[in-house]
A and B are shown apart, each in its own frame.
Chain A
């Protein structure tokens, strides 16, 4: 049963890593669209700041959950 706990920890780390890769690529494409096709650069900048702040917050929560994971 200890293996299950360890596997869960490894699984969470893999999911976190995949999400970091996915979100990095996706964010770059999305912000490229805002700056290239958007009407105002200022709107794109505000959206980018809010969006990245949200992403950062969720990643902090996920990372702290993964690295404070304890084997009971």
Chain B
């Protein structure tokens, strides 16, 4: 990915941020339950073969065992694709923090991808929100970076790991870019109040 991004002279990559593993885990658990459900149902149905035979004879001699196997595998295939779509969105959603800017890659689907960036000089404030017991224990949350500009854009990442550390890293580099006379702790106003 970074071969495609043109770094400016003197610009170096500081850190890359991907969503917390728990976000991926949470999305995958539901899909895994859906994946195994028909196989469990099929096993239960198969254990009552006499009812299957009765049902199949009513359907005009359809080979119900093979049809159910086929449909279960079809269902599993769809869920398998869904699992990897979730992983693709997780893997390709990234924040790259450099010494001069933050590059935000937002993968929303296979054919929906946005790459945007903002220069650290334009950064006005960063909000961090950690909501819930699990998020607090595992230390992940939402980071919202607000920038000066047309319409005051905000860049948001949900489920970012160690959001306070990321905030500190970004603000540290943003402050370093400020001219000395303007290097009052403007960004830390919210935390010191």
Write the residues of chain A forming the contact surface with B, with a CB cutoff of 8 angstroms. 1-2, 4-5, 8, 12, 15-16, 19, 23, 26, 29-30, 33-34, 36-39, 43, 47, 51, 54-55, 58-59, 61-62, 64-66, 68-72
Contact = CB atoms under 8 A, between A and B. Distances in A.
Chain B interface: which size bin?
A: 20 to 34
B33 interface: no
B61 A30 contact: no
A37 B74 contact: no
Given A12-B70, A23-B81, A30 B88 contact: yes
Nearest to A3: B60
A39 B94 CA distance: 10
A71 B88 contact: no
Contact of A72 (B56, B85, B92, B105): B56
Given A12-B67, A72-B62, A72-B63, 7 more contacts: A1-B60, A30-B84, A36-B1, A37-B4, A47-B84, A62-B74, A68-B66
Nearest to A13: B70
B88 to A, nearest CB: 6
Interface of B: 1-2, 4, 16, 56, 59-63, 66-67, 69-70, 72-74, 76-77, 80-81, 84-85, 87-88, 91-92, 94, 105, 107, 110-111, 113
B62 to A, nearest CB: 5
A47 B77 CA distance: 16
17 contacts: A1-B60, A2-B60, A5-B61, A16-B70, A29-B111, A37-B1, A37-B107, A38-B1, A38-B91, A39-B2, A39-B16, A58-B74, A61-B76, A62-B70, A64-B69, A66-B66, A71-B61
Contacts of B70: 12, 15-16, 61-62, 65-66
A65 B2 contact: no
A4 B60 contact: yes
A37 B92 contact: yes
B63 A70 contact: yes
A58 B73 contact: yes
Contacts of B92: 33-34, 37-38
A19 B84 contact: no
A71 B81 contact: no
Nearest to B68: A65
A30 to B, nearest CB: 6
Contacts of B77: 19, 23, 55, 58-59, 62
